[in-house]
């Protein structure tokens, strides 16, 4: 019986976590374009982390294949991957690294990162 209760509690915890969302992300969802965009083999120009005292947000600036500079906002729901497809933190992304990025664009022209992966 104790084993059943333990399994039930774990399943309840997992199920509950799948329904959490950030209010900012839900607000952005209404303003995003329908189709995601991608950058394949882009080169990181710069990486900046959020700073609440300055009011800045996390961002990666990438140069795409056509030599265009694109700013990507990194939100709490943006997935960040290393070469081996393991989750990593933003500080592991370094300038001049090659990346694949999937992002959405708001009506205001803000690019919101969905997935960013470091390439070999």
- Chain centroid to Cα 74, Å, comes to 5
CA angle 84, 90, 96 (to 5 degrees): 75
- Predicted confidence (pLDDT) per residue in 1-10, tens digit: 556 555 656 6
Q: 2-6, 44-48, 73-77: lowest mean pLDDT where?
A: 2-6
pTM, two decimals, is 0.71
> Percentage of residues in the chain with pLDDT exceeding 70?
72
Residue 41 CA to residue 5 CA, distance in Å, equals 48
Do 61 and 71 touch, CB atoms closer than 8 A? yes
How many domains, in total, are found in the chain?
Answer: 1
Structural domain boundaries, residue 97:
36-120
Q: Which residue has the higher pLDDT, 120 or 63?
A: 63
The domain that contains 40 carries what CATH number?
2.40.50.320
């Amino acid at each position: 019986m104790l084993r059943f209760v333990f399994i039930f509690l774990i399943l309840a915890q997992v199920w509950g976590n799948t329904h959490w969302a950030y209010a900012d992300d839900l607000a952005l969802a209404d303003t995003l374009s329908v189709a995601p965009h991608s950058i394949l083999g882009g080169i990181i120009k710069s990486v900046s982390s959020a700073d609440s005292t300055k009011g800045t947000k996390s961002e990666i600036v990438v140069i795409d294949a056509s030599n265009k500079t694109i700013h990507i906002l990194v939100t709490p729901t943006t997935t960040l991957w290393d070469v081996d497809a393991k989750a990593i933190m933003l500080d592991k992304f370094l300038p001049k690294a090659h990346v694949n990025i999937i992002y959405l664009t708001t009506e205001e022209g803000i690019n919101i990162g969905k997935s960013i992966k470091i390439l070999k």
